[in-house]
Structure 1
Amino acid sequence: MMLPTHALAGMVLALPVAVAAPEFAPVALAAGLAGGVLPDLDMYVGHRKTLHYPVYFSGLAAGALVVALVVPTALTVGLAVFLLGAALHSVTDVFGGGLELRPWEGTSDRAVYSHYHGEWIAPRRYVGYDGSPADFLLSGVLAAPLLVTVDGPFRLAVLAGLAVAVVYTAVRRVLPTLAERLVEAYGPVLPGVVLSNLPARYCQGTGADEG
């Protein structure tokens, strides 16, 4: 799923906190947003492997949640929601498409790497692929309760996420062709360090590798 969907999902995890303990709402919303975004920071360094931990994040989140319930402080609540957001992101990527350049073709058997099992989990494709109409619909569904609950900078974050989702969904199908043409045109003059950090699906034949 696309990053806006994950970010919004992380913020939705904070809504029970906002209702039950409003004093922790700001830290919970910020932590949920950060946790929902964190795994995709590995976009160009072993995507869905380096920072995606479906099992370990889930275990840590469960433990942190217990601590937060027993000793509710800004730190424990924030850490619990942060880990829940990262765990949810890592797990739900399994329900989207694979890692291929055009995931709607369904040619990849890799969705998320499970470090616990030492193998890739196959994509279920219930949400199609990142930036699919179903993915955009999910972003809208997640944004709805947030828009009627949060205000200030968090409301702006939700609106910004929706704006990014609209643009990304609109251009998603043409991005692979654009990426291929750019790499084909400029690949020969790009420094090796740049090529080595591009996902292999964008630069087949250049020697770059995702790992």
Structure 2
Amino acid sequence: MMATTHVFAGLAVVAPVAYALPDFAAPLAIGAILGGLAPDFDLVAAHRRTLHFPVAGLAVAVPAVGVAIAVPSSGTVAVAACAVSMWIHAASDALGGGPEMDPWNDQSDRAVYDHVRGRWLRPRRWIRYDGAPEDAALAVSLAVPALVVFDGWVQTVAAVCLAVSLAYTLVRRRLVTWLPDWLE
């Protein structure tokens, strides 16, 4: 899935809390955005293995939410939103295709690494590849809560990310031919 889809998923999860507790809207949004993006920082390492924790991430997210409920503060809710979004990102990568640049050609049997079991989870391919039309549709639907519940800079970031998502979808399959050989 696109990084923006993961960001929208995090924002959609925290949107009901932000609606109920508007004083925490900004820290929730910051945590959700960072958590939605952070796992993909491993693109320069072993992608979908180094910073993706589809099973173990839940062991961090649940206590973080518990702390945020027990001791609500800007810091605790931001950390909880980040942890939950990171876990959702990693877990949902198993719903897509493999991490290769052209998943429509080279159908990998590796979606995301499960550190608990020490093996790769297979791709489900519900979202065939990042930037696929179904990824764009999911991004649009997940962006709605962010666009409705949040205002100000969060709404602006969501709108810009939505525009980037749709533009990326239009050129995604062509990108592989535009990339230099050393990036493939």
Q: TM-score range by the shorter chain?
A: over 0.9
Contact 1:10 1:32 in 2 (8 A): yes
Report the Cα offset of residue 126 of structure 1: 0.8
Q: Which residue of 1 aligns with 2:121?
A: 121
Cα separation, 1, equivalents of 2:67 and 2:79 = 10
Q: Which residue of 2 aligns with 1:172?
A: 172
Q: Which residue of 1 aligns with 2:110?
A: 110
Contact 1:11 1:30 in 2 (8 A): no
Report the Cα offset of residue 106 of structure 1: 5.8
Cα separation, 1, equivalents of 2:107 and 2:24 = 44
Q: Which residue of 1 aligns with 2:24?
A: 24
CA deviation map 1:104-150 (0-9, x unaligned): 23610010011111111110001111100000000100111221221
Q: Which residue of 2 aligns with 1:77?
A: 77
Amino acid at match of 1:174: R
Report the Cα offset of residue 166 of structure 1: 1.2
Q: How does 1:1-211 map to 2 (within 5 A)?
A: 1-105=1-105, 107-179=107-179, 182-183=180-181, 198=183, 202=184
Structure 1 unmatched runs, 5+: 188-197, 203-211
Specify which structure has the bigger relative contact order, considering alpha-carbon pairs within 8 angstroms and separated by 6 or more residues.
2
Cα separation, 1, equivalents of 2:120 and 2:23 = 40
Whichever of the two has the greater Rg, that structure is 1
Per mean C-alpha deviation after superposition, the further-off stretch among 123-132 and 68-77 is 68-77
How many residues were matched structurally? 184
Per mean C-alpha deviation after superposition, the further-off stretch among 142-151 and 165-174 is 142-151
Q: Which residue of 2 aligns with 1:209?
A: none
Q: Secondary structure of the equivalent of 2:62?
A: helix
Contact 2:19 2:149 in 1 (8 A): no
Runs of 4+ in 1 over 2 A off after TM superposition: none
What is the aligned-residue RMSD (CA, Å)? 1.3
Structure 2 unmatched runs, 5+: none
Q: How much identity, in percent, do the aligned residues show?
A: 42
Cα separation, 2, equivalents of 1:171 and 1:135 = 13
Cα separation, 2, equivalents of 1:61 and 1:149 = 23
Q: Secondary structure of the equivalent of 1:131?
A: coil
Cα separation, 1, equivalents of 2:106 and 2:128 = 9
Q: Secondary structure of the equivalent of 1:120?
A: strand
